[in-house]
Amino acid sequence: MEYKDYYQILGVPKTATEKEIKAAYRRLARKWHPDLNPQNRQEAERRFKEINEAHEVLSDPEKRKKYDELGANWQQYEQWQRAGGQGPFQWGGFGAGGAQYRTVTPEELEDILGGLGGSGFSDFFNMFFGGMGQTRSQTSRRPRRGQDYEYPVDITLEEACTGTQRVLEIPGEDGSPRRVEVKIPAGVDTGSRVRMAGLGGPGVAGGPRGDVYLVVNVLPSAIYERKGKDLYTDLPVDLTTLMLGGEVPVTTPRGSRLMVKIAPETQNGQVIRLAGQGMPTLGAPDQRGDLYLRVKAVLPMRLTPRERQLFEELKKNRG
């Protein structure tokens, strides 16, 4: 059985923080998602499964601790398991003072490693975690929840404002691909997780299936700047409208068109607030932030002789 170095799979050191592990996972999961690699789908599926498996262990403090403790003693454990799991096992860990060892019984070893069912993972994971409690008796297996799967998804800010949907391909109950339509609610932000209950890996020993999560990434917008539920954007206004007043059309992130009143002598850089035209609240779409318009003066170009004459007169009249 080949040992899997989950740190190497994610490309992070063993001292990596939870934030660094999550960032590495998102980057690699996006890179190797099978839907994004149609020309090399088989390899992408293999890598994607490895990445999810590594993240499943290293993102969970308890699983990571157990993996780190046993990882250094994999060969010793393998020999112990081949012998039927009888007798004590030299359990090693790494504390502040370096390598430390103590002897544990088979019963203690099962308690230490229990609860990490591996259905849906690699053979190594199943042996390393899921199979450890079976050295004494198959009947000692406890029902365990199946694996959760995470899939990164990119959406636009406009889609985050109105809500959207994606078609996702996930493993079915028989292992064959299954396509499901997922609704992404309005108000999501980068890091939001959309849960699909019961669509993850199968449970162990009668345990419930895991879940599938879409991990949302809202792409930067070329038009809007998001600050919580509020949105900011520039509003170009021609010089004469700024001086004399008038109305300017504005298209909101939801696609509706509004006419915004411009007061006479509005200054460049002035901010106009449109209440309730910003981002909706996740779970409460009727509660919306505001849309702020930053006025940007548009100066006339290619003046006609008459227009130039009028500006000369204005300059003269204003000293």
Q: Evaluate whether residue 154 is within a structural domain.
A: yes
Q: Are 182 and 196 in contact (CB under 8 A)?
A: yes
Asked if residue 40 and residue 135 are part of one domain, the reply reads yes
> Are 172 and 241 members of one domain?
no
Residue that the structure tokens 């969970």 belong to = 60
Q: Which residue type sits at 23? A: A
Rounded to whole angstroms, the Cα distance separating 8 from 47 reads 12
Residue 19 lies in a domain: yes
Evaluate whether residue 201 is within a structural domain. Answer: yes
Q: What is the CATH number of the domain that holds 185?
A: 2.60.260.20
How many domains are there within the chain? Answer: 3
Residue 115: the pLDDT is 37
Same domain, 129 and 163: no
> Which residues lie below 8 Å from residue 146, measured CB to CB, with a gap of 6+?
117, 119, 120, 200, 201, 202, 203, 204, 207, 208, 209, 210
Boundary-marking domain end, from 140, 161, 191: 140
The span from the CA of 245 to the CA of 242, in Å, is 6
User: What pLDDT does 188 receive?
Assistant: 95
Rounded to whole angstroms, the Cα distance separating 250 from 31 reads: 37
Domain membership of residue 52 (yes or no) is: yes
pLDDT at residue number 1:
52
| Model confidence pLDDT, tens digit, residues 48-89 | 888 988 888 898 888 888 788 776 555 555 555 555 555 555
| 11/100 same-domain check | yes
Same domain membership, residue 98 and residue 29: yes
Q: Looking at this protein, which amino acid is placed at residue 74?
A: W
Q: Do 33 and 63 sit in the same domain of this protein? A: yes
**Model pLDDT, residue 119:** 41
| pLDDT tens, position by position, 111-145 | 444 433 334 456 556 555 554 434 434 434 578 88
Does residue 1 lie within any of the structural domains?
Answer: no
What is the per-residue pLDDT for 52? 86
* Final residue before a domain boundary, out of 140, 175, 210: 140
Neighbouring CB atoms inside 10 A of 287's CB total: 13
Q: Which residues pair with 177 in a beta bridge?
A: 171
Q: Tell me the whole-structure pTM to 2 decimals.
A: 0.58
pLDDT for residue 295: 97
On whether both 10 and 129 belong to a single domain, the answer is: yes
β-strand partners of 294 = 234, 271
Q: What pLDDT is stored for residue 204 in this prediction?
A: 80
pLDDT score at 247: 96
**Can you list the residues of the chain whose pLDDT is less than 50?**
91-120, 131-140
Q: Are residues 235 and 178 in the same domain?
A: no
CATH of the domain at 82: 1.10.287.110
Last residue of a domain, one of 122, 140, 158: 140
In a domain? residue 113:
yes
What pLDDT is stored for residue 137 in this prediction?
A: 40
In one-letter notation, the amino acid at residue 251 is: T
What range defines the domain where residue 171 resides? 149-218
